[in-house]
Amino acid sequence: MTKSEWRDGIAVEATQRRSERTGRRFRLPVVALVLVLVVGVPIIWLAIAALGALGSGSNGLTATMLPTALRETGLLMISVGLLAGTAGLVAAWLVTHYEFPLRRIFDWALVLPLAVPTYLAAYSYVEFLDFTGPIQSALRPLIGAQTVRDYWFPDIRSPWGAALVLSAVLYPYTYVACRTFFLMQSTALSIAARTLGANGWRTFLEVVLPVSRPALVVGMTLAMMEVVNDLGAVQYFGINAITAVIYSTWINRSDFGGAAQLAVTVVLVIGLLILAEQKARRNRVYSAQRDSRVPPAREVLTGARRWLAFGFCGGLFTLGFGIPAGELIYLSLRLHHPDTTALAFSALWPTITLAAIGAVVTVTIGLLAARIGETGSAAAHGMIRLSTLGYAIPGTVLALGLLQPLGQADLWFNRMTMALFEWRPGLIISGSMAALIYVYAIRFLAVSHSTLDAAMRKRGRSMLDAGRALGGSRLAILFRIDLPTLSPAILSAATLVFVEIVKELPATLLLRPLGIETLSTLVYSRANVGLFAQAALPALMIVLAGLVPVILASWAGDRRKV
């Protein structure tokens, strides 16, 4: 080979590589755009339906119900945000900066309420504080009462009860965010404040609280979004929250246009929350870096202060996990019956099937989205971020937005099969598990994408580039390098999505096929007719499933502390 032929070969190869990179950059935004459109179908359809209902009678219904729904939802969000934010912040400050009895246990145990879905906490608290519950049953002999007219007891089914119960199981969002922040935060500021004469309380109010604002805002925002997404708990407490009103407008009044208008309002409210949270943190620096090998210094509490810290953390754990889990275990053992067990296990198989298929589909899409975000352009990266916003949208809204387009797709498909084969397959999309898998993929794409994207960034691309340099094909690199190195993250993402689907209620309740009962819908249907004791065993199964990712996340967090 002559020198000129060698140069020509190099030039041709370089041109081919540039062409491949250009084609890849062109394909990635197209794939990202398709992903955004597929994920955005429910929101687009709802917006069209809401605009189409402007001239109908739905406007009067929406105008009548919207102010009440927004007021009650807003008050509940603010109450839960403040209570959960305060409880989580104080608990995180205590376990990271002080030594007191059982501090090491509380360090991870305070995360366990995340395993209890809000609707299960609501049902458990009502059973616990009801007339036949252990509290009132123990109180009546002490005061000599016989009936409920002989004494007064607060009604847990009220706005204050809803705020207390939801805060008890949602405070870990703030606790986890603030605890991580405190572990990475330099203790120099606190030490300087104490050196200048400030006591612990003043240091907390004037130094710690302002500095921990980013973590506090993130935790409170997540807790408030969970309030917006909730359906079972707010209905059980008798609160006209906006998700409950959407469900009632759609199911009980058959007014899709009015429900669409309310759903679009929910999306706008959530969008404003996200923008406000991002604006609050823009161009602000709150933390000073520390050497991560040196844990923050902890002050040993003595006297009454150590027992106050112990009592606060113990009370939080009892309210958030002890009472709901204890009540479920008690009811499951007390009413253990073959029919109850058969009912629970009859709902277990559909739940596992849906969760497993949904996890595989969602993680696969999340892997594709993370790959596009890693190698694509800024436009593709932005579109991937848009496609992961479904986690912030309530399941009720997503289900409402998918019902009509999936039904229309079934109609078109049946017309096509009738024209070609004179065969009508029926509702193969909207009336099958496919609709649920679709809404799960939209709802929990952010969970799988964030896990896989973090793993890809940590791994880097050096091993993939080395495989290409050694002549490996795309399939060989995928199965021999890419997927094996990402397998821990893939397993973690699949586990998280699996458990989220097991706990998910609103979308499952609205889109499940006829005759299909999952653990969450079984608990909901029994509790709404006053038969929660019959659903205690499936409810306990949901809690046990939720413990898996919580324990894994806590274990992984402990490994990253040093």
The string of pLDDT tens digits covering residues 485-497 is 777 778 878 888 8
Instruction: Give the pLDDT score at 374.
Output: 67
Asked if residue 19 has pLDDT above 70, the reply is no
Q: Give the per-residue pLDDT at 512.
A: 85
* Nearest by Cα to 214 from 258, 188, 182, 167: 182
pLDDT tens digits along 114-168: 888 888 899 899 888 888 888 888 888 888 887 777 778 888 888 899 999 999 9
For the chain, what is the largest distance between any 2 Cα atoms, rounded to a whole number of angstroms? 108
Residue 146 contacts by C-beta under 8 Å, 6 or more apart in sequence? Answer: 140
Least confident stretch, 155-164, 321-330, 355-364, 394-403: 394-403
Report yes or no: 161 and 155 within 8 Å, Cβ to Cβ: yes
Burial class of residue 35 (count of CB atoms within 10 Å of its CB; 0-12, 13-18, 19+): buried
Q: Is the pLDDT of residue 279 over 70?
A: no
- For residue 477, the model assigns a pLDDT of 74
Please, what is the Cα angle at 433 between 432 and 439, to 5 degrees? Answer: 115
Q: Are residues 375 and 453 in contact, defined by beta-carbon separation less than 8 angstroms? A: no
DSSP single-letter state for residue 195: H
More confidently predicted of 280 and 349? 349
Q: Please, which pLDDT band fits residue 415 given cuts at 50, 70 and 90?
A: confident
Q: What percent of the chain has pLDDT over 90?
A: 10
Is the pLDDT at 182 greater than 70? The verdict is yes
The pLDDT value recorded for residue 154 is 84
Strand partners, 300: 99
pLDDT value for 177: 83
Asked whether the beta carbons of 91 and 289 are under 8 A apart, the reply is no
Nearest residue to 396 (alpha-carbon basis) of 558, 244, 220: 244
What's the whole-number mean pLDDT along residues 389-409? 80
- 337-351 mean pLDDT: 83
Residue 98: strand pairing partners: 299
The residues, any chain, with a CB within 8 Å of residue 522's CB and separated by 6 or more, are 343, 344, 347, 535, 538
The one-letter code for the residue type at 124 is S
Q: Is the pLDDT reported for residue 555 higher than 70?
A: no
Please report which confidence band the pLDDT of residue 12 belongs to, taking 50, 70 and 90 as the band edges.
Answer: very low
**Residue 324: predicted pLDDT:** 92
Structure tokens at 50: 């809401």
Q: Would the pLDDT of 90 be above 60?
A: yes
For the entire predicted model, the pTM comes to: 0.79
DSSP secondary structure code for residue 111 in this structure: T
**Whether the predicted pLDDT of 240 surpasses 80:** yes
Residue 540 confidence (pLDDT) above 50: yes
pLDDT band at 357 (very low <50, low <70, confident <90, very high): very high
Over the chain, what is the mean pLDDT? 78
Do the Cβ atoms of 320 and 116 come closer than 8 Å? yes
Better-scored residue on pLDDT, 271 or 507: 507
pLDDT at 87: 93
Counts for the chain of helices (H) and strands (E), in that order: 26, 2
Dihedral over alpha carbons 356, 359, 362, 367 (to 10 degrees):
-120
Residue 552 has pLDDT above 80, yes or no: no
Helices 395-421 & 256-281 angle (0-180, nearest 10): 130
Alpha-carbon gap, residue 316 to 357, rounded angstroms: 36
Strands (E), 147-304: 299-300
| Secondary structure, 3-state, 146-172 | CCHHHCCCCCCCCHHHHHHHHHHHHHH
Rounded Cα distance between 241 and 254, Å, is 18
Q: How far apart are the first and last CA of the chain?
A: 57
Which DSSP letter does residue 362 get? H
Q: Is residue 259's pLDDT more than 50?
A: yes
**pLDDT over 60 (residue 58):** no
pLDDT at residue 190 above 80? no
Lowest mean pLDDT among 76-90, 218-232, 318-332: 218-232
DSSP per position, 447-503: HHHHHHHHHHHHH-SHHHHHHHHTT--HHHHIIIIIHHHHHHHHHHHHHHHHHHHHH
* pLDDT of 9 higher than 70: no
pLDDT at 411: 84
pLDDT class for 16, splitting at 50, 70, 90?
A: very low
More confident site: 445 or 391: 445
The answer to which of 183-187, 261-265, 456-460, 481-485 has the lowest mean pLDDT is 183-187
Lowest mean pLDDT among 60-64, 181-185, 455-459: 60-64
* Model confidence band, residue 287 (pLDDT cutoffs 50, 70, 90): very low
Q: Report the pLDDT value the prediction gives residue 314, as an integer from 0 to 100.
A: 94
Structure tokens that stand for 345 in this block? 């296990």
- 102 vs 391: which has the higher pLDDT: 102
